[in-house]
Amino acid sequence: MRPAFQYLAGICLLVIAACVGLPPSSPVGAQPVDLTIQSEPLLLKLDEPDLRQIGKLIWRGGISMTANSPNFGGWSDLHISADGRTLTTISDVGGWLTATVDYDRSGNLAGLSGARIGSLRGLDGAPLSNKIDSDAEGMAKLPDGSWLVAFERHHRLWRYPTLDGVPVAIDLPEDFTRQPENGGVEALTALPDGRIVAISEELALSPRLLIGWIGTPEPDGGYSWQTFQYAKIADFNPTALAVLPDGGFVVLERAFDMARGVRVRVMRFEAAELQPGATVTARELARLAPPTAVDNLEGIAATKGPRGETLLWLISDDNFNALQRNLLLLFELER
Pairing of strands 136-141, 147-151: antiparallel
> What does 266-328 look like in DSSP terms, one character per residue?
EEEE-GGG--TT-EE--EEEEEE-TTBS-SSEEEEEEEE-TTS-EEEEEEE--TT-TTS-EEE
Determine if the peptide bond prior to 291 is cis (ω within 30°).
yes
Q: Residue 20 — pLDDT band, cuts 50, 70, 90? A: low
For the segment 199-220, the average pLDDT, to the nearest whole number, is 95
> Given this model, what pLDDT does residue 15 score?
42
At 293-314, the pLDDT tens digits run: 999 999 999 999 999 999 999 9
pLDDT exceeding 90 applies to what percent of the chain? Answer: 85
Beta pairing partners, 88: 79, 98
> Given this model, what pLDDT does residue 30 score?
78
Half-sphere CA count of 250, side-chain side, radius 13 A:
27
Q: What residue spans of the chain are helical by DSSP H?
A: 3-18, 131-134
User: Average model confidence (pLDDT) for the chain?
Assistant: 93
Distance, in Å, from the CA atom of 269 to the CA atom of 140, rounded to the nearest integer, reads 18
At 61-99, the pLDDT tens digits run: 999 999 999 999 999 999 999 999 999 999 999 999 999
> Given this model, what pLDDT does residue 28 score?
86
Domain assignment of residue 31, given as a range: 3-333
**Does the structure show a pLDDT above 50 at 213?**
yes
Cβ–Cβ under 8 Å, residues 191 and 155:
no
For the segment 182-192, the average pLDDT, to the nearest whole number, is 97
pLDDT exceeding 70 applies to what percent of the chain? Answer: 94
Q: What is the largest CA-CA distance in the chain?
A: 62
**Does the structure show a pLDDT above 50 at 1?**
no
At 221-263, the pLDDT tens digits run: 899 999 999 999 999 999 999 999 999 999 999 999 888 899 9
**Does the structure show a pLDDT above 60 at 115?**
yes
Distance, in Å, from the CA atom of 82 to the CA atom of 162, rounded to the nearest integer, reads 18
Task: Report the domain count for the chain.
Answer: 1
Tell me, what CATH number does 195's domain have?
A: 2.120.10
Chain centre to alpha carbon of residue 20: 21
For residue 88, which of 59, 114, 106, 70 has the smallest C-alpha distance?
Answer: 114
193: left (phi over 0), alpha (psi -120 to 50) or beta: alpha
